[in-house]
Amino acid sequence: MAKQSEFGVKKDFTTTIELEKIDRDVFKAITDDVAKWWGGNDLTGNSTALNDEFIICHPGAHYSKQKLVEIIPDKKIIWLVTESELSWLEKDKHEWTNTKMIFEITVEGDKTLLRFTHEGLDPEKESYFRCAQGWNMVIKGRLFNFIATG
């Protein structure tokens, strides 16, 4: 999705899922147990309170450290990637550093929408297409199933 910034058009990766859960449950699933839907056994740290930090490490493929920089209960969560290394990249293995992962939760009728944006994951970056595939798997697959089935 492209949006206007002071420097021109900014491109980010965005995907949305629709859930039959209340906004509080969606929010809680994202913050309380990142390991169950993203990190598996490769997660260390905390992700529930402002300024919490956690690390996702899949040896030989992915390392990232996130800091919870904004939290609006039942509405919004923003993680800032403070460190990263994507081992499989050839040019800049630290492309994710200083990008943000934004979770926006809205209610429409009896459905809850979760919009995920990886701000700074630009289609012109080397990691974009592989990461877009990964995010679709994580958000539309693992996170959706985790929230839907508990």
Per-residue model confidence as pLDDT tens digits over 79-132 = 999 999 999 999 999 999 999 999 999 999 999 999 999 999 999 999 999 999
Per-residue pLDDT at 9: 56
Runs of H (alpha helix) within 1-150: 23-32, 34, 128-135, 144-149
CATH: 3.30.530.20, 3.40.50.300, 3.90.1150.10, 3.40.50.1700. Which one for 31-149? 3.30.530.20
Tell me the three state secondary structure of residue 95: coil
pLDDT in tens, 37-53: 886 778 899 989 999 99
Per-residue pLDDT at 3: 47
Task: Supply φ then ψ for residue 56, to 5 degrees.
Answer: -110, 125
Return the domain boundaries, the chain: 31-149
Structure token digits, residue 21: 């859960």
pTM above 0.85, yes or no: yes
65 CB-side CA count, 13 A = 6
Percentage of residues in the chain having pLDDT higher than 90 = 75
Report the phi/psi class of residue 26: left, alpha or beta, with left for phi > 0 and alpha for psi in -120 to 50: alpha
